[in-house]
Amino acid sequence: MDINYYDEHQEEFEAVKLALKGEMERIWGSMLKESGDSLDDEATYLNLFEELQYTFSPSSFSKLTPSQDLDEDKIAAFVARTRGYKYGITIKARPGHLQKWLKGRIQPLEDAAGTNLCWIDTATIVHIGAGQQFDDQYYLTVTTKTGQSYRVNDVRLPGRLLEAAQETLLFRALDSSTGGNF
């Protein structure tokens, strides 16, 4: 799978995005109108994108107007490009300090108004894994020396992005000396 497919196929990416915006308008058009929001606002688009992302499949894209012919690889590449190749991983670190903190969630693994948010000392991580939430929707997990497991990314991942997300966590985020969003 070429995760960067849409970097070289910009017109195709824009066509898929436009068709998806049409579907978003169909679903949330009246709400957008009432709130004065617009899909032209990137934050609004990305918020609604995340609301729909778990439903993406070749058949769901074939039902868009105009119809889009995307296989699982192209869907994963579209999701990755839309998210700016980020996986919802957050690290806090200060230059010159060895200790780093990984944002995580304890049970329930979904956002619970911040009550389940925690920061994990990266030195205590003994295992990186994944959990499945929906059909072909995953999230990253880590297990610490105490045996506690945590969800450590904020977005659902299509299965084809799971390996790239794990590599980002292991080789970029955990190695970062400055922290950030990955």
Give the least confident one: 19-23, 62-66, 107-111, 167-171: 107-111
Whether residue 79 contacts residue 106, with contact meaning beta carbons closer than 8 Å, is answered with no
Whether residue 119 contacts residue 102, with contact meaning beta carbons closer than 8 Å, is answered with yes
Torsional sign, CA 11, 53, 152, 43: positive
123-176 residue pLDDT tens: 999 999 999 988 888 999 999 999 999 999 999 999 999 999 999 999 999 988
Q: Which residues make beta-bridge pairs with 134?
A: 137
Taking residues 102-123, what's their average pLDDT?
Answer: 81
Q: For the domain made up of 90-181, give the CATH fold.
A: PH-domain like (2.30.29)
Angle between helices 72-82 and 159-167 (to 10 degrees): 50
The Cα–Cα gap between 110 and 103 comes to 13
pTM over 0.85: yes
- Which H or E element spans position 29? helix 10-35
pLDDT at 128: 96
Domain limits, the chain:
5-82, 90-181
3-state secondary structure string, 82-103?
HCCCCCCCEEEECCCCCCEEEE
Give the least confident one: 3-7, 106-110, 174-178: 106-110
61-73 residue pLDDT tens: 999 888 899 999 9
The residues, any chain, with a CB within 8 Å of residue 152's CB and separated by 6 or more, are 89, 102, 103, 104, 105, 120, 139, 140, 141, 142, 169
pLDDT at 42: 96
Whether residue 120 contacts residue 144, with contact meaning beta carbons closer than 8 Å, is answered with yes
Q: Quick one: which of 94, 90, 117, 95 has its CA closest to 174?
A: 90
The Cα–Cα gap between 3 and 78 comes to 8
